[in-house]
Amino acid sequence: MTKKILLALAALTALTLCFSSCKKDEPKPTPKSEVKLRVEPKEIKVIVGRTAELTVTVEPADTKCTFETANADIATVSDKGVITGVKVGKTVITVKAGDATPKTVDVEVIEASSMDKSRYIGTPDDKGYIAPIYVVEASKIKDLKDVITEANKVNGYVFDEDFAMDNGGNVLIYVGPNNGKQWTDDRIIGEIGYYYFPNPADNFMLFFMKNSFDEDLVKKAADGDEKAQQALFGVAAAYGFDKEQASGSLDNGSPCLVAYNMEQFPEGPYEVMILSSKNSKTGKYTIRFQVLQRAPQAQSSLAQRTPMMPEMNVAPSHLLISNR
């Protein structure tokens, strides 16, 4: 009996060793890919003959990326993600990296002369005070530099520079007609700035008035001076900001005015905040219009605000023109 038990145990031990040996010989499963791919923007416009560059982030960083265009007759793309507009139309760029899920970008190629007229603010007047300005969806400023340049060129605003600021952001600067020494027309807004940052949610636009003033018109308006209110809100209204007019002060105590363009743009309302600053050298006050994609009820840097008169005269005033 003991002999039979010993034989059975020996057979079981041999079987266990064999099974263990077989398990060791099995190939290990291939680890799942950890490649991560991000491509911005998701949609882009490019002018015929111009270029636009995709921002691609991939992990691990040494993973090779490939770029393919669905229609090279519309737009081509380089191995660095630079898109070139060939002819008017729409196509799709596909970006691949390892076995990460491919990303696609919708591309529209347009002619310089076929800008979306619905994105201009400002109706030209017979006195030449109001020159239309192109408003791009704030988060897309960096991706639409060429479009912004061509759109503003139509109305005489010339690209000056893409200026890098100390805070990590950039500003695209456009200047109205001048001969290097003085302005050569009567438009009220002489300089436009499109500010863009690493976080697109921080983007905004600034419009600078050509004239400067001996007194702070923004403070006067905020304090109830009707003439100053009509002058400044008149410019805002001429550029489409004619709703929810109010005065107030910023958290730092500086006076300001606000108004809203409520229905022109599909992405939602835009706010204009009218601000002033004193030039330490000349002692004069300059006025700027800060445009943000924001609704009246959204949180802002205004500490308090007071609604203005609803029946205000909003005709642009000659008071606001640069002396030539």
Tell me the C-alpha distance between 257 and 249, whole Å: 8
Judgement on whether residues 239 and 181 belong to the same structural domain of the protein: yes
Confidence (pLDDT) at 170: 93
**Res 114: pLDDT:** 66
Question: Given 110, 136, 159, which residue is the final one in a domain?
Answer: 110
Looking at residue 127, its pLDDT comes to 86
Of 285, 228, 288, 291, the C-alpha closest to 259 is: 291
234, part of any domain: yes
Residue 32: predicted pLDDT: 57
Structural domain including 79 reads 36-110
Of 56, 87, 110, which closes a domain? 110
Give the chain's radius of gyration (CA, Å): 30
Residue with tokens 């912004």, as numbered in its chain: 148
Single residue among 89, 110, 131 that ends a domain in this structure: 110
Whether residue 288 sits in one domain with residue 146:
yes
The pLDDT score that the predictor gives to residue 312 is 43
- Is 11 within the bounds of a domain? no
d(CA 218, CA 229): 8
pLDDT computed for residue 252 by the predictor:
81
Shortest CA distance to 157 belongs to which of 205, 110, 197, 109?
205
Ranges of residues in the chain with a pLDDT under 50 are 1, 3, 5-10, 12-22, 309-319, 321-324
| Number of domains making up the chain | 2
Select from 255, 262, 261 the least CA-distant residue to 305.
255
CA distances from 268 to 27, 265, 292, 293, 295 (A): 57, 6, 11, 7, 7
Looking at residue 135, its pLDDT comes to 95
| Same-domain pairing of 103 and 193 | no
pLDDT at 143: 86
Of 273, 277, 275, 274, nearest to 298 by C-alpha is 273
3-state helix, strand, coil in the chain (%, to 5): 20, 40, 40
